[in-house]
Amino acid sequence: MDRTSQYILLFFAAVLASCSTSRNLNIERGTGYNFRAGHPEFRTSAFGFVDEENKTMLEITAEIVKGSLIYKEENDTLQAHISIEYQVQDLENSNNILVSNQLEQTVKSTDEAVTSTREALDLSFTHAVEPSRYRVLVSITDLNTNKNITQSVETAIPETQQGEYNLSNIQMFGKINGKEGWEPMSTYDVKGKVDSLQFVFQVISPRSDKRMQIRSRLIQFESDTSYPRPMHYANYSPSSIEYKGIDYDEETELQSSQRILTDYSSTYIEYRFANPGRGNYRFEVNAQRGEEEELFKARDFGVKSKNYPAVGSARELARPLIYLMGEGDHEDLMAITDPDSLKKEVDRFWLKNIGNTNEARQVIEMYYQRVEEANKQFSNFKEGWKTDLGMIYVMFGAPWYTEDHLKELIWYYSYNHSDPEYSYYFNQPKLKNRYFPFYHFILRRSNYYYTVQYQQRRLWLSGRILTRQI
């Protein structure tokens, strides 16, 4: 190959890399849970827009799970006291802190169920800002325990000249059948019981009268949503979807539409879809005016189980029993279609094995608490309890010691770090980055684990898990 051809190839490679990077920066994926046991649990989001007076505004929202707070009885009511701090940083100027506010709030209730509810306290703050890229830091402190959690989100408000146009980031909302109104979806994960999804973005155009074409698509990516293999099975092939986790090159277009805008000012556009079912998706928008540069915005999301991250339905209670049952028995259990019959079989499974009703109740509570905690800590393209990290966490609890190396994580459940039965090595096929936005760790499976897996099952099914971890 001559030198000129090499330069041409390098040029096109650089152009393609630049386009790919630019598109990935315009893909919103929501926030995670940032879960720590005993700490406040909340989700936050930020959205930039242009108001009716053509001023650029930044809206910050926070949803604080009431059941994650600690309550004390005061004046015949249960009260939780929290401090909310938030800060807005201009990413174009790291020393420029535009907003820094702090306030306190009290959550009151006469219902003891508030200590375990998934109901959220919704907060919203709006500030006038200049067009730029922003990082928003939100910190919640439970004043009854002084425990604190901080989350960070980023958003952008594009600068648009008179007569030009641009697109805001995409907001996602969900609606549950029987409930009024649309609820904001600030995380990547969508509960399966959400019936409909709504995507909203703003065409930012200071009174432009130029014709613009907008194309939208809802696409699904090939991804792993299966149960993990048992610990002693063979390792996954690098070509398998279980090893890859999610393949952004394998997509299926579910719906698409096109519209033409003429003679408009800044306006909101909405798209609505029925919940497409469990899987990983992207809603994307492309806008183009004539031969000029194409604009691209997208919102990625994953549909999880019905009550995610909690487990409540009979099917949600039955699925995690895969770790305590043989595959054939579990298939027979999941083949039961009637919810009431399935729930009875789940109850029968626990009582038949443990025998004592009180012990069974404690074991069941511990097991599904770990399932929920695994969802909050390890979820990626599938529920956290289905990941290899989640499988080990549910079965064995939190690790005694951990080591974190590049592309490798080690969990120890023994003081002897050379113990092959209680040292679990996880490989990371891809590092988390803007192109692969997930932590995906795969257990290095081994025949050593057959016996320890069997013994751990017996601890759960005998009830002895209440007095010993392994």
Give the separation between CA 334 and CA 314, rounded to whole angstroms. Answer: 10
Q: Letter for the amino acid at 52?
A: E
Range with lowest mean pLDDT among 86-100, 227-241, 330-344: 86-100
Q: Which residues pair with 281 in a beta bridge?
A: 220, 301
The CA-to-CA distance between both ends of the chain, in Å, stands at 62
CB 108 within 8 A of CB 79: yes
To the nearest whole number, what is the mean pLDDT of the chain?
90
What is residue 236's predicted lDDT score, i.e. its pLDDT? Answer: 97
Report, as an integer, the average pLDDT of 14-26. 55
Is the pLDDT at 70 greater than 90? The verdict is yes
What is residue 1's predicted lDDT score, i.e. its pLDDT? Answer: 53
CB 382 within 8 A of CB 455: no
Would the CA dihedral through 384, 386, 388, 391 be positive or negative? positive
Name the residue with higher pLDDT: 1 or 459.
459
Report, as an integer, the average pLDDT of 30-38. 83
Report, as an integer, the average pLDDT of 447-463. 95
Is the pLDDT at 370 greater than 70? The verdict is yes
Report, as an integer, the average pLDDT of 36-62. 90
Question: Can you spell out the DSSP letters for 201-218?
Answer: EEEE-SS----EEEEEEE
Report, as an integer, the average pLDDT of 54-79. 93
Best CA proximity match to 41, nearest among 67, 79, 61, 59 = 67
Is the pLDDT at 14 greater than 70? The verdict is no
Best CA proximity match to 212, nearest among 164, 173, 253, 278 = 164
- The position carrying tokens 């879960």 is 35
Give the contacts of 78 (CB within 8 A, at least 6 positions apart). Answer: 71, 72, 108, 109, 110, 111, 112, 114, 115
CB 259 within 8 A of CB 214: yes
CATH superfamily to which 1-30+161-303 belongs: Immunoglobulins (2.60.40.10)
Report, as an integer, the average pLDDT of 72-98. 91
Report, as an integer, the average pLDDT of 243-264. 90
What is residue 18's predicted lDDT score, i.e. its pLDDT? Answer: 46
C-alpha angle 263-269-272 in degrees, rounded to nearest 5: 145
What is residue 308's predicted lDDT score, i.e. its pLDDT? Answer: 95
* Cβ neighbours of 178 (radius 10 Å): 6
Tens digits of residue pLDDT in 410-438 = 999 999 998 989 999 999 999 988 889 99
What is residue 163's predicted lDDT score, i.e. its pLDDT? Answer: 65
Give the separation between CA 344 and CA 280, rounded to whole angstroms. Answer: 32
Which helix (H) or strand (E) segment holds residue 150: the answer is strand 147-157
CB 126 within 8 A of CB 56: no
Best CA proximity match to 275, nearest among 198, 368, 385 = 198
Is the pLDDT at 307 greater than 80? The verdict is yes
Name the residue with higher pLDDT: 217 or 418.
217
> Residue 54's pLDDT band (boundaries 50, 70, 90)?
confident
Q: Which residues pair with 216 in a beta bridge?
A: 257, 285
Report, as an integer, the average pLDDT of 237-247. 97
Is the pLDDT at 229 greater than 60? The verdict is yes
| Farthest CA pair distance, the chain | 84
> Residue 159's pLDDT band (boundaries 50, 70, 90)?
confident
Give the separation between CA 239 and CA 467, rounded to whole angstroms. Answer: 42
Is the pLDDT at 208 greater than 60? The verdict is no
Is the pLDDT at 206 greater than 90? The verdict is no
> Residue 290's pLDDT band (boundaries 50, 70, 90)?
low
Q: Range(s) for CATH 2.60.40.10 in the chain?
A: 1-30+161-303, 36-157
> Residue 13's pLDDT band (boundaries 50, 70, 90)?
very low
Percentage of the chain modeled with pLDDT above 90: 73
Is the pLDDT at 17 greater than 60? The verdict is no
Report, as an integer, the average pLDDT of 373-380. 96
Question: Can you spell out the DSSP letters for 416-461?
Answer: -TT-TTSEEEEE-SS---SSS-S---EE---TTHHHHHHHHHHHHH
Whole-angstrom CA distances from 459 to 168, 324, 331, 352 are 53, 10, 23, 14
Give the separation between CA 121 and CA 339, rounded to whole angstroms. Answer: 31
Give the separation between CA 27 and CA 396, rounded to whole angstroms. Answer: 36
What is residue 174's predicted lDDT score, i.e. its pLDDT? Answer: 96
Backbone angles phi, psi at 20, to 5 degrees: -65, -45
Tens digits of residue pLDDT in 163-179 = 677 888 999 999 998 88
Q: Of the spans 49-63, 174-188, 358-372, which averages the highest pLDDT?
A: 358-372
Give the contacts of 460 (CB within 8 A, at least 6 positions apart). Answer: 324, 363, 367, 395
Is the pLDDT at 368 greater than 60? The verdict is yes
Token couple for 90: 């201009």
Report, as an integer, the average pLDDT of 136-144. 96
Question: Can you spell out the DSSP letters for 38-103?
Answer: TS--EEEEEEEEE-TTS-EEEEEEEEEEGGGS--EEETTEEEEEEEEEEEEEETTSTT-EEEEEEE
| Region class of 82: left (phi > 0), else alpha (psi between -120 and 50), else beta | beta
What is residue 35's predicted lDDT score, i.e. its pLDDT? Answer: 86
- The position carrying tokens 């409540």 is 312
Architecture of the CATH domain 36-157: Sandwich (2.60)
What is residue 92's predicted lDDT score, i.e. its pLDDT? Answer: 87
Report, as an integer, the average pLDDT of 115-125. 92
> Residue 220's pLDDT band (boundaries 50, 70, 90)?
very high
